[in-house]
Amino acid sequence: GAVVSQHPSWVICKSGTSVKIECRSLDFQATTMFWYRQFPKQSLMLMATSNEGSKATYEQGVEKDKFLINHASLTLSTLTVTSAHPEDSSFYICSASTLLADGRSSYNEQFFGPGTRLTVL
Amino acid sequence: KNEVEQSPQNLTAQEGEFITINCSYSVGISALHWLQQHPGGGIVSLFMLSSGKKKHGRLIATINIQEKHSSLHITASHPRDSAVYICAVRVRYGGATNKLIFGTGTLLAVQP
């Protein structure tokens, strides 16, 4: 099956530093990658949608200058949290979308990464 | 009101019990996903439905498009089924791109 990896799986950093999180599709090419944030006991919230070679589309309320997304290839997207603060502490999850076919039709399927837990001190 | 509502929010069951988790949505969708999230955080996609019913092992998912409702059933539940189960609907977004809107999840604990 399709595998999506994230690195690192967890990171602790000091306030004011920048943190980069990588999302890779290991055995398929992803047409689109999504970045989500999940606070404790809450559901996933979409932060941005990223297509290879183009600028990411950010959801309302998500600062694009704070959460920099680079989608350099069809298998790699990165999220950089710039000048991180304690309120940025969260669980960040990426997913990668690819086109699948089941014999009758084609459809986009999302495969999720294992997540990255960011703690900002 | 959330666009995707799940019930119950928390569910405790005894091993072997039949479990049902419900999901209702208020938007037009192209598909509905059931996801499983374990305590470590990783998410696994269980089903993607656009109509009818799907079965995989002890898991069954159904969807009624007219009523905008889906159910996830677990037969002969086991402690290893303990996890958060999340309903997510796929909506069209910015042309051809689809995005998922997530429910708040159902925390299931199956006791031995």
How do residues A22-68 score in pLDDT, each as one tens digit?
Answer: 999 998 888 889 999 998 888 889 999 988 888 899 999 999 999 99
Interchain pair B41, A91: CB under 8 A: yes
Verify whether the Cβ–Cβ distance B94 to A57 is below 8 Å.
yes
Q: Which residues contact B1 (CB under 8 A, 6 or more apart)?
A: B26
Q: Which residues contact B76 (CB under 8 A, 6 or more apart)?
A: B16, B18, B58
The model's pLDDT over A90-119, given as tens digits with 9 standing for 90+, comes to 999 999 988 776 666 666 778 899 999 999
Asked if A115 reaches chain B (Cβ–Cβ under 8 Å), the answer is yes
Q: Tokens for B95, please give them.
A: 């042309």
pLDDT bracket for residue A88 (50, 70, 90)? very high
Whether the CB of A44 is below 8 Å from some CB of chain B: the reply is yes
* Phi, then psi, of A110 in degrees rounded to 5: -105, 135
Quick check: B75 and B60 in contact, CB under 8 A?
yes
